[in-house]
Amino acid sequence: MKIKFITENDYKIWDEFCYRNSYSTFWHTSDSMKYYIDSSFNIKSEQKSFIVYDNNKILACVPLLLENISGTIELSYGGCSIPSPIIDESLSKNVIKKVKKFIFDFIDKIAYENDVIKSSVYISYLSNGYINEKYKCNYLLKYGYLDISNLTCVVDLSMPEKELFSNFSKGHKSDIKKAEKNLKFNIINKDNINIDDVYTFMNYYFKVAGKKTRPINTFDNIYEWIKKDLAVLIMASYNDIVCGYSLFTTYKDTSYYCMACKDKNFAKFNVSHFLQWEAMKYLKKQKIRYLEIGIQDFSDTLSNFPTKKDIDISTFKRGFGGYIITVFKGEKFYNDEEFIKCYEERIHKYAGRNFQEKISE
């Protein structure tokens, strides 16, 4: 087996290989990688994704970014976990095992050569291949990764619209009915997109946030997504005044609730509820089956410390029905001192947040 680090010249064959694979997701695409390379002011990313070949045949595509995160070198994806490798499904189980080992050995090699502190990977889950797989496990543990799995919520849009709505919480149903009396929506997709629409969204997003939260290149990438039918932007308005936006990725028959913003002055109109419902109806018409609404936080773990706001957002998302699935994740440290330091900090943080009364005694 041989390795080829990719350049922009390889993006076409990369995307074609991924699209043919039933386990690939939007986050494997070159458009996604370009977005993550530009996604933060505090992260400098270097493309380290590679293709595994054998006899001129592609066996696997492995997304990977080498990132300097405020002085710390990690293998990550815009500071987040990397999607798992996409491997040729026509290979036998034994060959797939060999390819996986080859891939993760090479990732370790990259890590040691670049003084990487940690790598983090998740097993890609928002695809037909994965969702319909009978047996699922965190295979990352076979390659020295520590389990940091979490949960997310997915809605199956294939059911009739009435049934879809009936699965919403009582409060969400009521809020949506009220919102429909006051709000209108506009779909911005590949058929009507122009760059001004995206910059208007960007300026609105920054205005709501009160600051520039990400580089402008991020929104140039979003424009490309929409142009290529890889995303849709939905806008809500009241009396022709914009009061919120939601952005959803679209890839094959899956969609991800990517980002949103709303003006708090229109809170009484339940803008977020309205946008989510209009998005579901639109995506359903576009033959999207699986919509990921987002990560589900319930309480602290040793790898995640959600705020009350995070937990409230999770509750809001669950109100749209769907089912909760495990996102298998793993992290691997390449420096014992950094590992000890990281886990000591997490343990003390967990204890301080969850055993305060006992500690104070």
Q: Who's near 245: CB < 8 A, 6+ residues apart? A: 201, 204, 205, 233, 234, 235, 236, 260, 261, 262, 275
The whole-number pLDDT of residue 357 equals: 60
Distance (Å, whole) CA 126 – CA 158 = 15
pLDDT at 117: 97
SS3 187: strand
CATH code for the domain defined by 2-149+329-352: 3.40.630.30
- Which burial class, exposed, middle or buried, applies to 189 when counting CB atoms under 10 A from its CB (0-12, 13-18, 19+)? middle
Q: Count of CB atoms within 10 A of residue 156's CB? A: 14
Tens of pLDDT along 281-299?
999 999 999 999 999 999 9
Q: What is the identity of the amino acid at 5?
A: F
CA-to-CA dists, residue 313 to 19, 152, 252, 318, 337, angstroms? 32, 12, 27, 9, 35
- Measured distance CA(33)–CA(261) in Å, rounded: 23
Single out the residue of 65, 84, 97, 107 nearest to residue 23, CA to CA: 84
Angle 67-29-259 from CA coordinates, rounded to 5°: 75
Report domain extents, the chain. Answer: 2-149+329-352, 154-326
Which tens digits make up the pLDDT trace of 341-351?
999 999 999 99
Q: Compute the distance between CA of residue 160 and CA of residue 284 in angstroms, rounded to an integer.
A: 9
Predicted TM-score of the model (pTM): 0.94
Same fold, 2-149+329-352 and 154-326: yes
* Rounded-to-integer distance, Cα 233 and Cα 189, Å: 7
CATH of segment(s) 154-326: 3.40.630.30
Look at residue 39 and give its three-state secondary structure. coil
Tokens of 330: 């793993």
The residues near 313 (Cβ < 8 Å, ≥ 6 apart) are 294, 297
Q: Residue holding tokens 């670049």? A: 114
Q: Which stretches of the chain score pLDDT less than 50?
A: 360-361
Q: What is the pLDDT of residue 38?
A: 84
CA 341 to chain centre: 28
For 210: left if phi > 0, alpha if psi spans -120 to 50, otherwise beta; the answer is left
Q: How many residues appear in the chain?
A: 361
Residues 6+ apart with CB under 8 A from 280: 155, 157, 164, 291, 320
Phi, psi (5° rounding) for residue 325? -125, 160
DSSP of 297-326: --S--SS----HHHHHHHHHHHTT--EEEE
Place of tokens 């122009």: 194
Residue 41: exposure state from Cβ atoms within 10 A (0-12, 13-18, ≥19): exposed
- The candidate with the shortest Cα–Cα distance to 164, out of 268, 50, 285, is 285
pLDDT of residue 361: 46
In the numeric block, the tokens 């495990």 are attached to 326
Is-contact 144 199, C-beta < 8 A? no
CA distance 301 to 295: 14
